[in-house]
Amino acid sequence: MICVRSYPEYLGEVSGYNYIEKKGRIPGAIFADCGSDAYHMENYRNLDHTTREYNETAEIWKSQGITPDKHLAFYCGTGWRGSEAWFNAWLMGWPRVSVYDGGWFEWSNDPNNNFETGVPEAYANAK
């Protein structure tokens, strides 16, 4: 699972949306460093809001361990950022990509689903 949300959303500091109560991420999700909040994807776009060159996005992803040899399921809060990231990967020809369009909104509304908050142990140990 690839979390295409802001870092505060990923850490569980904010949900990103006033209508989403719970804060956190899907267990084991990898942070994809998309932007500053739930309404922006500036790390994947140029100043004129066009999509960045594919190699720039691929470098962001590779720095997080997101590579084309894995099956990647992108998600965000409600679906639009995850869908945009999926589309970028698909355009780059990455073979096994999907989008979890229900995103954090759907995941967090199911009482049977667990979630994580804070800095993942793997990230904390890497620093």
Q: Which pTM was predicted?
A: 0.90
Q: Rounded mean pLDDT of 106-122?
A: 93
pLDDT in tens, 19-44: 999 999 999 999 998 899 999 999 99
Distance separating alpha carbons of residues 82 and 2, to the nearest angstrom: 8
Report the chain's C-alpha Rg in angstroms: 14
Confidence at residue 124, expressed as pLDDT on a 0 to 100 scale: 57
Catalytic residues: 76
Is residue 127 assigned to a domain? no
What CATH number is given to the structural domain containing 86? 3.40.250.10
Owning domain of residue 78: 2-122
Count of structural domains, the chain: 1
